Structure 1
């Protein structure tokens, strides 16, 4: 009798909710409201808020499912896992980096407006650690906890002594065939782990090299990025790239929404199951777009379409390098651009097939001192 009564009450409550003013809101208006709320949020949404929106009624659930998609499709960064997933295919995702010189820290934000302002949603943070023979940039999901033993550690950038070669390491495997790079620091981090769910190794996902250019005698900087975890065919029409679907952290309370976002795309699952080494084509190679000399200004120039306002040796634009030497239309698209707009403020715009994490790591290499390149 009690179960029957509960079912009656529940059915009446659901019917009342379906007929409420919120459920009767036009879908176009509801979609616009939810998009604006998501875009204006300066922090990651908690899982309970997302579930609450999806649980109002069928129309709310359908629209919430439409909004919660990968950056490649939605062109937005909703959950922490989004920073590990490729950016949008058709446009550049606009971000900016704040630098703290005294603390040697760097903060990545998602731009909430088209204006070159300091208002944005926090994405990633990095701290510079100098060593005897190299320099490490520890990248974290937390703005105040940037250590490799932290539960929010997701990767690092390591340079050689001269600052001409860099390696980007991911804290977890980018695809099923990724090989772990084990060393003494890796073993020490493993001892500090709170949970075995956190990967104890470093997986190399990209190599960055700067051409030796003592005193700038060869003109502007020349850089090349070999994206070990991205196949060269990714930039072709219909091309795919391995996509991570979750961030493994030892303390789920830090990001309660991190486990909510799961990609169900069959295409993505196929790309994850196949190691890059087994693919027919090689890794994607990015190179900086050559600037042109401006006679009137007497300087090297690149067209950043208003996103860069201060001349700097750090400014660059990356495009895909053709494998066979024949450049197609896809090789003209700017995949990553980085430039200075203030004393310690820089813009960072990226697109598919690289992620915000990879783009941030590449930009960090531009900050590092280069003895043999300047």
Structure 2
């Protein structure tokens, strides 16, 4: 049977099941499930068809050389999308591309979505900027040197929406700018504040490493009433806590903040130290990418079987202590009559939101002074609703973005 004949048969089977199930509410449910299942079956068939095509049957040596040349030639966005396109051809191409593409720590490049959860470069910062939209309470993170270059080499990394609640404020973080539902595949985490806006908790949608396990949480997601993966827990992982010091006397001065990274040991900033580096998404976003890209359905694909949250922070895997970041103390400039920090030209507008974070290290850890003074994350204003964000190892783009989002919340007792 030809390819067109198989597709036609699948469509007739879907229509037949749909026409037989238009009887009452129970019939509508059967129709919805059958339509979704047929769409997924069609997608799996098409995926298998591509897998057996001449593209998948190229000699491994030739295929490896082609993908390596593409990866080395495309160093920045938007040309970097050609590397992602190679990984979308079929399973064989995807596996080879994943082997060739290195982590941001090694290459300094952000390629796949998982790169946003992996630590950045050690020697130089990854430069990004944030654009704020007041009307929609939306914040977009772009990869690029400046907003002026957005059309040339800018790349949308994350989008966040601010949601005010009675006792807290949530910043829901997504991979896209038009879907902030926790039931979406695009959901990557969130930032939640307390009532006063002095303490924030960063929640990740997946564990910081592949071996972490979330306790006291149901371990199943559903795709059209079918369990997908028993190893995927529903809920959020508490990976960091951000605290702003209370300013009870209302004296003038910059904000003072402290970030406790529950998943990163303090040894990560030492020579030879390492931070958790996830190798892939723990949900089925990557596993079902080729299927869902073909099976377009009006029904929602993903649903969490539990909405409970885990308030217990993820502990570091080693016996060492957790990494703590503190804002670098500014100096008072007598001529300008303001507090100043050296942002090396990346910040041009004075703002209470501007900050630089360095490691707060106990003398017993014997960390070199140069590592203690190294700026791990800096954030500052360069224009109306435009801010720069530069981060480096051991922080990831997701962790850095979440920390910067805490600066946008109202803090009446910190100003």
TM-score, with structure 2 as normaliser: 0.69
CA distance in 2, matches of 1:253, 1:102: 36
Report the counterpart of residue 313 of structure 1 in structure 2. Answer: 352
1:362 correspondence with 2:403: yes
For residues 220-254 of structure 1, give each alpha carbon's deviation from its aligned partner in whole angstroms, at most 9, with x where no partner exists: 10000000000000000000111111124445599
1:159 correspondence with 2:193: yes
Question: Number of aligned pairs?
Answer: 327
- Residues 245 and 256 in structure 2, CA contact (< 8 A), matched pair in contact too: yes
CA distance in 1, matches of 2:80, 2:262: 31
CA distance in 2, matches of 1:35, 1:278: 34
CA distance in 2, matches of 1:255, 1:359: 26
Name the larger-Rg structure.
2
For residues 317-336 of structure 1, give each alpha carbon's deviation from its aligned partner in whole angstroms, at most 9, with x where no partner exists: 00001123776221111100
Report the counterpart of residue 140 of structure 2 in structure 1. Answer: 107
SS of the equivalent of 1:352 reads: coil
CA distance in 2, matches of 1:310, 1:257: 47
- Would the alpha carbon gap of residues 43 and 344 (structure 1) be closer, same or farther in structure 2, given more than 3 Å must change? farther
- Would the alpha carbon gap of residues 163 and 66 (structure 1) be closer, same or farther in structure 2, given more than 3 Å must change? same
Report the counterpart of residue 299 of structure 1 in structure 2. Answer: 338
The structure 2 residue matched to 1:212, chosen from 218, 230, 246, is: 246
Report the counterpart of residue 73 of structure 1 in structure 2. Answer: 106
For structure 1, which runs of at least 5 residues remain unmatched after alignment?
1-9, 259-274
| Residue 304 of structure 1, CA deviation | 0.7
1:41 correspondence with 2:78: yes
- Residues 46 and 257 in structure 1, CA contact (< 8 A), matched pair in contact too: no
For the aligned residue pairs, the C-alpha RMSD in angstroms reads 3.7
CA distance in 1, matches of 2:383, 2:164: 25
1:226 correspondence with 2:265: no
- Residues 338 and 348 in structure 1, CA contact (< 8 A), matched pair in contact too: yes
- Would the alpha carbon gap of residues 142 and 210 (structure 1) be closer, same or farther in structure 2, given more than 3 Å must change? same
For structure 2, which runs of at least 5 residues remain unmatched after alignment?
1-53, 293-313
TM-score, with structure 1 as normaliser: 0.76
**1:78-227 alignment, distance < 5 Å:** 78-111=111-144, 113=145, 117-119=149-151, 120-175=154-209, 176-180=211-215, 196-197=228-229, 199-214=233-248, 216-217=250-251, 219-227=253-261
With 195-204 and 218-227 compared, the bigger mean Cα shift is at 195-204
